[in-house]
Copies of this chain bind each other. A is one copy, B any other.
Amino acid sequence: MNPLALLLGRRLANRESQARKIGALEGVPAMGLDALASVAYGPEAALMLLMPLGAAAPTVLGWLLLPIIILLGLLCLSYWQTIQAYRARGGAYVVARENLGVPAGLVAAAALLIDYILNVAVGISAGVGALVSVLPRLHPHMLGLCLVVLAALTLLNLRGTPESGRVLAVPAYAFLACFAGLFAFGLFRAIVAHGNPQPLRAPVPLAAAATSGAGVWLLLRAFASGCTAMTGVEAVSNSMSAFRDPKERHGHRTLGIIVIALGLMLASLAWLVPAYRIGAMAQSRPGYRTVLAQLAGAITGENAFYYVTMASLLAVLVLSANTSFTAFPRLCRNLAQDGYLPESFAIAGRRLEYSIGLLCLAGCAAVLLVAFEGITDRLIPLFAIGAFTGFALSQFGMAAHWRRAWRERDGTRRGHATRLTFNAVGGVVTTAALLVMVVAKFREGAWITLFLMAGGYALLHRIHRYYRKLRVLKGNDATLHAHPASRTAAIVVIERWNRPARDALEFAMGMADEVFALHLARLTGPEQKEPPDLRRRWNANVEVPLRAAGREPPHLRIVEAHYRTLHRPILEWIAELRREDAGLRVAVVLQQQVKQHWLQHLLHAHRAQSLRRHLAHANVPFLAIVIVPWFADADAAPPFPDPHDEAE
């Protein structure tokens, strides 16, 4: 059995594509894990920055989460509309390109591509890091674990988005259920205790006095850090092609579930963190516990439920990279369809997934993981900038969209003005958050992201220029010459006289007006001896039967290959033939043994391949290279036609 079929499943036909589309049930695990997992680090990062405020820090965080939740709502609205307006493709690239122009679209695309790659590396290594801190015995195998997770996710997604959605549904919904229970119980206990619940396991004590005041810059930085909780929300609109009809409804549902779950979790945190007086700890401190671990311990104590909840969080963290695996190949495919990436990115693979994009993502992430030995802390400052660039451009793009729609319809539909306002406000706020991020993290690595974005932009642009130039060179109005002026000559290259040589000669005689046979002497070196009976065999097997049939036999020419290359004497001969007939079509006929076992590649000198390459590169007009394949062991070859051909 085909090993690829075993690994990835059978090759799917185009007509099966509808059955391969997903709904919201698979959509949430396939696209939402990044957004859901970010509830674990966004608020924690913000709280960490607020710690100098001492006992006031949790309360300030609570208030700070409010505008973040509002911004999340704005973003959700914006993407809701994007899904409506761009049913088939969607995403920041398409929205920005159509409404703000190609450069804006390419900036959004480059930003998102980089962010998706970083998300895979950072997501996996952060998740594995959390796993290792629970099971320190695994520490030496950190990089190996990261690569195993990466390989598993790649394989899963190569099998298809429906498969990955179904497999990841288990951890995703377990996570949602656990945290819903945890937060509900926490809120219940807080209400029962009149807002002052007693933690069952005490969180880390907070410093009573503030060591510094709550300056505007500190709050802005904490706000920007907290905003990272929103990354991943754009994945749904980038992945619209994954949904089944009606796409719009399934997209809306998926987006809705993700955003509502994320919003509720953030709102619960805004209430519970101050209520249980949770603080953030530096990761380097001994006995480090995450904010969520402290909160869960405070609410339920360290019982079985606590461990299940933490395990589900860990699983979602490790698997959060899957969002990139869903969105990245589809973004690449959109870019490739418009000629901004190589055409291979737009080709549906064995399982109707865009496998080149998938493999490219996995490859880039693997390089990052190996280069940083699985510890990608230094990549975190590079992160989220791409996502927010995408957010901002997508919002402004939608604003421009509604503005145009408003003008075109003469302001008859009032909804447009409201939408325009929402999107413009969202665009301004996300741009502000982006600027705060860039300024705050510029020296720690944000400049690298900006640099990479510029490089990505230039690359996309160059690729597009190449395809545009190629299209012009190919033209599309070449008219056939109805009166072919010239004849066709075939040159059959013969090493020895044998069955493959005869087959090639017969093919040539069936298709050309004139046939020549060419034998190259001393092809392997000055000491090579000639097959002594070539002329005799040629006479007996070619000339005699043809003359008996009244046909003129082709001429056998023996030329010394002074430089041991096949192409040089052939090209010289073609030039000679062309001096007599400038428009003569020449077909060079080669026998090529089909290698039926990979070891055979080592046993042959690959002269036919090398000759084919050299002839093709010689820029000879009116030249064709004819390959007559030949099976040494025809019985061992697959029969023709092959009834069981699995289209491989």
Nearest chain B CB to A526 CB, angstrom units: 4
Q: Is A470 an interface residue (CB 8 A)?
A: yes
Query: Which residues on B sit within 8 Å (CB–CB) of A575?
Result: 640-641
Which of these binds chain B: A26-34, A230-238, A244-252, A499-507? A499-507
User: Is there an interface contact between B498 and A560, defined as CB atoms closer than 8 Å?
Assistant: no
User: Is there an interface contact between A618 and B640, defined as CB atoms closer than 8 Å?
Assistant: yes
User: Is there an interface contact between B526 and A352, defined as CB atoms closer than 8 Å?
Assistant: yes
Query: Which residues on B sit within 8 Å (CB–CB) of A343?
Result: 524, 603-605
User: Is there an interface contact between A476 and B496, defined as CB atoms closer than 8 Å?
Assistant: yes
With A and B bound together, what is the CA distance between A540 and B482 in angstroms?
A: 12
Q: Is A620 an interface residue (CB 8 A)?
A: yes
With A and B bound together, what is the CA distance between A572 and B641 in angstroms?
A: 7
Query: Which residues on B sit within 8 Å (CB–CB) of A103?
Result: none
Q: Mark A355-372, 1 if CB is under 8 A from B, else 0.
A: 000000000000000000
Q: In residues 533-587 of chain A, which contact B (Cβ within 8 Å)? A: 537, 540-542, 545-546, 548-549, 551, 560-565, 568, 571-572, 574-575, 585, 587
Task: Decide: A618 near B638, CB < 8 A? Known: A476-B496, A510-B585.
Answer: yes
Query: Which residues on B sit within 8 Å (CB–CB) of A604?
Result: 342-344
Which of these binds chain B: A66-74, A126-134, A629-637? A629-637
Please give me the residue from chain B that is nearest to A631 by CB atom. B619
User: Is there an interface contact between B526 and A15, defined as CB atoms closer than 8 Å?
Assistant: yes
Q: Is A219 an interface residue (CB 8 A)?
A: no
With A and B bound together, what is the CA distance between A466 and B629 in angstroms?
A: 19
Q: Is A379 an interface residue (CB 8 A)?
A: no
A638 touches which of B347, B497, B545, B619 (Cβ 8 Å): B619
A640 touches which of B17, B571, B625 (Cβ 8 Å): B571
With A and B bound together, what is the CA distance between A366 and B221 in angstroms?
A: 55
Nearest chain B CB to A51 CB, angstrom units: 46
Q: In residues 478-526 of chain A, which contact B (Cβ within 8 Å)? A: 478-484, 486-488, 496-502, 505-507, 509-512, 522-526
Q: Is A410 an interface residue (CB 8 A)?
A: no
Q: Is A616 an interface residue (CB 8 A)?
A: yes
With A and B bound together, what is the CA distance between A480 and B622 in angstroms?
A: 28
With A and B bound together, what is the CA distance between A585 and B525 in angstroms?
A: 36
With A and B bound together, what is the CA distance between A621 and B629 in angstroms?
A: 9
Task: Decide: A624 near B626, CB < 8 A? Known: A347-B605, A484-B506, A634-B619.
Answer: yes
Q: Is A436 an interface residue (CB 8 A)?
A: no
Query: Which residues on B sit within 8 Å (CB–CB) of A551?
Result: 482
Nearest chain B CB to A341 CB, angstrom units: 9
Nearest chain B CB to A358 CB, angstrom units: 14
Query: Which residues on B sit within 8 Å (CB–CB) of A429?
Result: none
Query: Which residues on B sit within 8 Å (CB–CB) of A563?
Result: 11-14, 647
Please give me the residue from chain B that is nearest to A482 by CB atom. B549
What is the size, in residues, of chain A's interface with B at 8 Å between Cβ atoms? 112
With A and B bound together, what is the CA distance between A343 and B607 in angstroms?
A: 11
Q: Is A264 an interface residue (CB 8 A)?
A: no
Task: Decide: A347 near B640, CB < 8 A? Known: A476-B498, A526-B17.
Answer: no
User: Is there an interface contact between B621 and A640, defined as CB atoms closer than 8 Å?
Assistant: yes
User: Is there an interface contact between B627 and A480, defined as CB atoms closer than 8 Å?
Assistant: no
Q: Is A6 an interface residue (CB 8 A)?
A: no
User: Is there an interface contact between B624 and A537, defined as CB atoms closer than 8 Å?
Assistant: no
Q: Is A443 an interface residue (CB 8 A)?
A: no
Q: Is A216 an interface residue (CB 8 A)?
A: no
Please give me the residue from chain B that is nearest to A529 by CB atom. B337
Q: Is A617 an interface residue (CB 8 A)?
A: yes
User: Is there an interface contact between A629 and B623, defined as CB atoms closer than 8 Å?
Assistant: yes
Query: Which residues on B sit within 8 Å (CB–CB) of A548?
Result: 482
Task: Decide: A17 near B527, CB < 8 A? Known: A479-B541, A619-B634, A641-B572.
Answer: yes
Nearest chain B CB to A616 CB, angstrom units: 4
Query: Which residues on B sit within 8 Å (CB–CB) of A541?
Result: 477-480
Query: Which residues on B sit within 8 Å (CB–CB) of A176?
Result: none
User: Is there an interface contact between A346 and B524, defined as CB atoms closer than 8 Å?
Assistant: yes
User: Is there an interface contact between A512 and B509, defined as CB atoms closer than 8 Å?
Assistant: no
Residues of A participating in the B interface, judged by any CB pair closer than 8 Å:
11-15, 17, 241, 342-344, 346-349, 352, 463, 466-467, 469-470, 473-484, 486-488, 496-502, 505-507, 509-512, 522-527, 537, 540-542, 545-546, 548-549, 551, 560-565, 568, 571-572, 574-575, 585, 587, 589, 592, 594, 602-605, 612, 615-629, 631-634, 637-642, 645, 647
A–B complex contacts, Cβ < 8 Å, 25 sampled: A14-B522, A17-B527, A241-B527, A342-B602, A342-B605, A343-B524, A344-B605, A469-B632, A473-B499, A475-B499, A478-B497, A480-B546, A484-B510, A511-B511, A511-B585, A571-B645, A574-B641, A589-B624, A616-B629, A617-B637, A618-B642, A619-B638, A619-B640, A621-B640, A624-B626
The 9 closest A-B pairs by CB, nearest first: A348-B525, A482-B549, A17-B526, A563-B647, A619-B637, A616-B629, A474-B498, A478-B502, A575-B641
